Amino acid sequence: MSSTESLKDHPLSLPFVKEKFKDTEFHFWSISSSGNYQQDYQLGELYAKKALCFIQRRRLPAVLNWIIRDMPNEFGAVELGFLNYITNKAVVGYQTG
């Protein structure tokens, strides 16, 4: 992280992002499932809110591409909650835009 970049503006401020290599490459979807569907779904929604805030603050929409790229091929409740929240926001934005 550069000295001019605050922690909240760094990808590692997102709870689901982990470092691959020292501050140069990141895994944008590194999560653990609790095994409780409802709890995991809600966690996915929370992660989506945090992602959208980060994307808006940084003006970096490509982050969403990187997150989805790093998701597993088979989605669990966390991924479904995340994607459903993002989709709902996109539909609302599209209808009002």
Bridge partner residues of 18 (DSSP): 27
| pLDDT tens, position by position, 30-56 | 999 999 999 999 999 999 999 999 999
Instruction: Give start and end residues of each alpha helix (H) in the chain.
Output: 37-58, 62-69, 77-96
Nearest-10 crossing angle of helices 62-69, 37-58: 150
| pLDDT tens, position by position, 55-85 | 999 999 999 999 999 999 999 999 999 999 9
Domain ranges in the chain are: 7-96
- Is there a contact between 47 and 16 (Cβ–Cβ < 8 Å)? yes
- 5 DSSP assignment: S
When pLDDT is averaged across residues 4-28 and rounded to a whole number, the result is 81
Query: What tokens does 57 get?
Result: 């603050």
